[in-house]
Homo-oligomer: A and B are copies of this chain.
Amino acid sequence: MKTEIKHVELENIISEINKLQTDTVLVIADHQVWSLYSKDLLLEQIENKKVLFWKAADGEKVKNITDFQNAMEFFLDKGIHRNAHLVVIGGGATSDFGGFVASTILRGIPWSIVPTTLLSMVDASIGGKVAINSKSGKNLIGAFHLPTNVWICPKFIETLPAVEKNSGMGEVLKYSFLDYSIYDLVIRKAEMSQIIDACAKFKEKLVTEDLKEIGIRKILNLGHSFGHAVEFIYNIPHGEAVMWGTALLFKLFGTEKNLNDIAALKKALEIPGDHAPWFNKEFPIDKIMMYLSKDKKISALSSLDMVIIKDIGNAEIETKSFDEIQATLEANKDELRKFTI
């Protein structure tokens, strides 16, 4: 099973839905996206199919078990079947949520995504990781369920708030360390649609090799263990958090070259903000360690797999004990207060 990724103009999205081999289409759309784009996405133009529409609370807000239950009961009550097809229209949070619905309704139905944020186009919509949040942390309740299609329409980026756009740039920055050709496109300031395509296809390739993240797919977690902790502690957007998580990782376990590269990429991608969220504050070691210990990616009680960048395009997984991470954080505590990139 593989995802077909392709660029689609806004006005052609409905005709893609019309081509789906099913008589029943479920649609989950982000509330905010729908208020901006429902006039361009006329569901009444879907032909010869039963259409069930459920509007999701904005972004991350929908990723809870009550909304999950409501969406499931809504669709099930209307009478659907295993060949029904779910289409998600929204950012990464909406597709995380919608994908979890698709993966568990009737034990799983096919689904497709229209990603409406940069973050989702380059990352969240690819690879079938779907989830909702738990009281104990983000994405702790979920599944692996590959979408059939990802229809990328860069036009959505035009209405994206700057903070959301920068958040996507944080993930593009991550890819630049994992693949030399993406690094090159970014440093040369290539067209954004070309960069999106390269990122999405790079991820799709890794995921096809290793859906369940047992091996190579793990490199996509670069900066994410620290990143998730930083995201929770400072309540900052995901992509920014990943950038700071990556920077922190490089500072603690990386090289001078890693730090120079991240600075150059940050500049090329025009990601604003020079100061880490913890700048001039006490570095929150205890909180960081607490979030790390609840990270999904840990594989034992006392250690964590981390992605180390030997050079652009050359990533390796190293298992670090919590004791070592804590000691390294303690040793760098004072320097971290004035850390900038």
Which A positions have Cβ atoms within 8 angstroms of B?
23-24, 50, 65, 68-69, 72-73, 76-77, 79, 81-83, 103-108, 129, 131, 134-137, 139-144, 212, 293-294, 296-301
Contact = CB atoms under 8 A, between A and B. Distances in A.
A50 B129 CA distance: 28
B23 A107 contact: no
B143 A103 contact: yes
Nearest 8 Cβ contacts at the A-B interface: A76-B136, A81-B298, A107-B142, A106-B296, A76-B134, A65-B69, A83-B299, A76-B140
Which label, helix, strand, loop or mixed, suits the secondary structure of the A interface? mixed
B297 A144 contact: no
Contact of A81 (B77, B142, B301): B301
Contacts of A79: 136, 293-294, 301
B108 A72 contact: no
A212 B301 CA distance: 33
A143 B65 contact: no
Given A24-B301, A69-B65, A81-B301, A107 B76 contact: no
Nearest to A81: B298
Contacts of A65: 65, 68-69
B301 A50 contact: yes
Contacts of A134: 72-73, 76
Given A72-B134, A131-B107, A143-B107, A299 B81 contact: yes
A24 B299 CA distance: 10
Given A72-B141, A77-B135, A107 B299 contact: no
B143 A108 contact: yes
Given A73-B134, A106-B296, A107-B142, 14 more contacts: A50-B301, A65-B65, A72-B141, A73-B135, A73-B136, A76-B141, A77-B136, A79-B293, A81-B300, A103-B143, A104-B143, A106-B140, A107-B296, A143-B143
